[in-house]
Structure 1
Amino acid sequence: MTFSIVARCAETGQLGVAISSSSIAVGARCPWLCPGVGAVATQNITLPALGPQVLKEMESGLSPAEALDKVLTSNGYTQFRQLTAVDHLGRTAYFSGSETLGKHNALAGEQCVGAGNLLADPAVIETLVHTFESSDGQLADRLLAAMQAAVAAGGEAGPVHSAAMVVVGELTWPIVDLRVDWADEDPIGQLAQLWAAYRPQMQDYIVRALDPTKAPSYGVPGDE
């Protein structure tokens, strides 16, 4: 039903999540991030509350593994959950319950974790992680490269319909927050197209927010 990668960029300290699913609007329920703290993906039979709870525990000083263990234990139904996490130091953790759907896998790499369920092949997650580790560019570029490689390796057992990517840096809001909530075909490809359009404008939107006097004009009505 879902595969994802959570990761940290060692050069910039940015944290990110990229995720796709056969379900609608995966970006509304599964990726959770907090600047300077970490990134979490909640999937399989998702309880969205787990994401913010894990982030809160990591912010209090727990490692990702300790945070996952505490939150899963306190919420119950552990057997149905699949979670991954990376913190601001690049430490990682993952969990797949006994009721994780279909062929599934989770794997930690260098400052990243990939996980999936209802996969065409468990090796899809190995491709996901290894591609991220070997890719260059911005964190978002590397996340998308990993997701596209996972699709090429077989992806999910069934059709994928939604995808999302979120990246946080030093600011209190995400610098990238892109979603394809439903697509009959290739939502990851559509997500890549969104990133290609947003990438050259990303810094401009940060400038506009922090110093409106330096805001670039885009030539739209009312924007002079």
Structure 2
Amino acid sequence: MTFSIVARSADGLLHGVAVASKFLAAGAIVPAAEAEVGALASQAHANLAYRSQGLALLRTGVPAADVVAGLIAADPGRDDRQLGVVGAHGDGATWTGPRCHPWAGGRSGDGWAAQGNILAGPEVVDALRDAWLGGADLPFPQRLLAALAAGDRAGGDRRGRQSAALFVVQRHGGYAGTGDELVDLRVDDHRDPVGELGRLLDIHTLLFGKPDPATLLDLTGPVADEVAALLAAAGHPVGAAGLEEALDAWAGVENLEERIVPGRIDPVVLDHLRRTTAAVAGG
């Protein structure tokens, strides 16, 4: 009922899962991941215990193939299960029970595993694999999403579309560095869940992406003048406290506080300020 990819970044610092299904809220059931430990997808007749048990094994350094072997050996329902695992090092591993509804199967390699059941055909998993291997130039979350989108275009779940999810972990990669959940996005019920997941990831990247130090602009001269004028037009005029406080106040309303850098401005923030002001002016 599902197709997914579990993967690790080339530097081993990120792990994640991307999944889509003709099933309500697959993201609530399939993915699990722990920063610098590994990632896991449990699907078909999913065994939710695989998630915590699998991560516990990965935490002790058990290779992905042995994690899969251990989980299914202890599970009398393994013939109806599907599982993908990747650890902190080495190849990923995948299992497809013989009673999973066709087409069902998986592929795996260094740092990744792709699998699916009730699919249009093996071309779905092949598309996941090929897009993952060909996407090394993309940021890790976008690479996972690109693989999922390729599987969707190849036919995906042969029953149709309903839900999709993207879960990526990185040590201290979560909001304000207070957690490890770098990306945790779900589309629970939608006609085009993978497309909608892409839209959400774009918003997530805008709001929570880290500023590129090489592109930051000093808040001085013409840049400061423009920012002050835009803030005033957006309803946040510069007061006695100064330009930076007005910018901070506006950014807090827009949920862009993660992109604020003292004394400078991220071009992404400036572009959003320009668009926001233009929208207000346009009514």
Instruction: Calculate the TM-score normalised by the size of structure 2.
Output: 0.71
Identity %: 33
Q: Which protein has the bigger helix share?
A: 2
The 1-side partners of 2:40 and 2:55 are apart by: 7
Unaligned stretches of 5+ residues in structure 2: 173-178, 211-247, 258-283
Higher relative contact order (CA 8 A, sep 6+): 1
Residue 253 of structure 2 is aligned to residue 220 of structure 1: yes
Match of 1:147 in 2: 148
Give the CA RMSD over aligned residues.
Answer: 2.2
Match of 1:41 in 2: 41
Residue 189 of structure 2 is aligned to residue 182 of structure 1: yes
Could you tell me which amino acid in structure 1 is paired with residue 143 of structure 2?
Answer: R
8 A Cα contact 1:167 1:174, kept in partner: yes
The 2-side partners of 1:7 and 1:191 are apart by: 18
In the alignment of these two chains, the number of paired residues is 214
The 2-side partners of 1:161 and 1:90 are apart by: 33
The 2-side partners of 1:223 and 1:82 are apart by: 39
Distance 1:223-1:98 versus aligned 2 partners, 3 A rule: closer
Equivalent residues in 2 for 1:195-206 (5 A)? 195-203=201-209
The 1-side partners of 2:113 and 2:205 are apart by: 24
8 A Cα contact 1:161 1:187, kept in partner: yes
8 A Cα contact 2:8 2:86, kept in partner: yes
The 1-side partners of 2:47 and 2:106 are apart by: 18
Match of 1:108 in 2: 108
8 A Cα contact 1:8 1:90, kept in partner: no
The 2-side partners of 1:147 and 1:153 are apart by: 10
Could you tell me which amino acid in structure 2 is paired with residue 191 of structure 1?
Answer: L
3-state SS in 1 of match to 2:13? coil
Could you tell me which amino acid in structure 2 is paired with residue 220 of structure 1?
Answer: V
Match of 1:30 in 2: 30
Unaligned stretches of 5+ residues in structure 1: 205-215
1:113 shift after superposition: 0.9
1:12 shift after superposition: 5.7
8 A Cα contact 1:90 1:112, kept in partner: no
Distance 1:156-1:222 versus aligned 2 partners, 3 A rule: closer
Flag as ranges the 4+ runs of structure 1 deviating above 3 A.
221-224
Match of 1:15 in 2: 15
The 1-side partners of 2:204 and 2:53 are apart by: 30
Could you tell me which amino acid in structure 2 is paired with residue 188 of structure 1?
Answer: V
Match of 2:180 in 1: 173
The structure whose Rg is larger is: 2
Instruction: Calculate the TM-score normalised by the size of structure 1.
Output: 0.89
The 1-side partners of 2:32 and 2:189 are apart by: 20
Could you tell me which amino acid in structure 2 is paired with residue 32 of structure 1?
Answer: A
Equivalent residues in 2 for 1:1-12 (5 A)? 1-11=1-11
The 1-side partners of 2:197 and 2:26 are apart by: 13
